[in-house]
Structure 1
Amino acid sequence: MLRRMLALFAVTVSMLLAQHASAVWQYVHKDFSGRYAMYGGYPGETTPPVAGDTKAAFTLTGTAARDMFNAIGPDLKDACPDSSVRVRNRETLSCPYHPADGYYCDFGFDLSTGLSIAGSTSAAICTASTASKDGRK
């Protein structure tokens, strides 16, 4: 009898803990800051966008970039000569952290195909940008 009561108690506590754990996280839509650019051609050799060759590059900043940076870790080893610059990368998503600029994440889409591509509206990954001047902080 005591064993059954303990088992029932354990199941009840487990269910309550599971419910509490799932109640802590909430699916929430949050605002974010960033910028984008539309172009044709290839990064570095951009041309005006035209039907069949339109791409979009995005840079997210602030809390959204920090959350993405934390989610895709770990840091790339020896990504930049300046050891204070941290870079995390997954496929076509690049998220650097510069002490002076904070976090930002660059990515893009080929709008003609819908495929994810590398894209950037920022300076080179390892160099500081004008983020503090353009409101990225």
Structure 2
Amino acid sequence: MKKILGSVAISVLLSAIYASGKDAWTGESEPLKGSYFIYGGELSEAVPPTQNDRKLAIEITGQPAKEMFDSMYPDFQPTCSGEKGDRDRRKGNVYCSYSAGGAYRCFLGFDLRTGKSIAGASC
């Protein structure tokens, strides 16, 4: 009886892992799609970076942005776009958005002189 229960448990576990497909956590790094911008001043009024004023804004897109968005519930209201079906999520200086067209985008920012987290997008 124990062998049968053990076999059933292993089958259920393997089936769950197989069914989850790519969602199974591997502990491995994944490729990242996105872009970055190094600037000085404020993001909404960026100027060329200087030796003493260098900031980094990072935009992450695609599946990594979707995974970040899904991890950051609940939605933040109102959305930056104001468009029907668009959704925003924010936690501290991390900002993610979903457009009704299906695109996910996340934004991070860092002050490169201090290493501190800052907003990576302006609404």
Query: What is the alpha-carbon distance in structure 2 between the residues aligned to residue 36 and residue 100 of structure 1?
Result: 23
Match of 2:34 in 1: 34
Report how far residue 79 of structure 1 moved: 2.7
* Cα 1:101–1:41 shift into 2, 3 Å: farther
Q: What CA RMSD, in Å, does the superposition of the two structures yield over aligned residues?
A: 2.5
Match of 1:103 in 2: 104
Report how far residue 101 of structure 1 moved: 5.4
Match of 2:44 in 1: 44
Structure 2 residue 87 is the aligned partner of structure 1 residue 86: yes
Query: What is the alpha-carbon distance in structure 2 between the residues aligned to residue 57 and residue 98 of structure 1?
Result: 20
Flag as ranges the 4+ runs of structure 1 deviating above 6 A: none
TM-score (norm 1): 0.68
Match of 2:116 in 1: 115
- Unmatched runs of 5 consecutive residues or more in structure 1: 1-8, 126-137
* Cα 1:77–1:41 shift into 2, 3 Å: closer
Report how far residue 47 of structure 1 moved: 1.2
Report how far residue 78 of structure 1 moved: 3.5
Report how far residue 44 of structure 1 moved: 1.7
Range 35-44 or range 80-89, more displaced: 80-89
- Unmatched runs of 5 consecutive residues or more in structure 2: 18-23
Report how far residue 77 of structure 1 moved: 3.2
Report how far residue 82 of structure 1 moved: 2.3
* Cα 1:95–1:113 shift into 2, 3 Å: same
Which protein shows a greater Rg? 1
- The total of aligned residue pairs comes to 108
Query: What is the alpha-carbon distance in structure 2 between the residues aligned to residue 45 and residue 78 of structure 1?
Result: 23
Secondary structure of 1:82's counterpart equals coil
Query: What is the alpha-carbon distance in structure 2 between the residues aligned to residue 101 and residue 71 of structure 1?
Result: 17
Q: Percent identity?
A: 34
Amino acid at match of 2:76: L
Match of 1:6 in 2: none
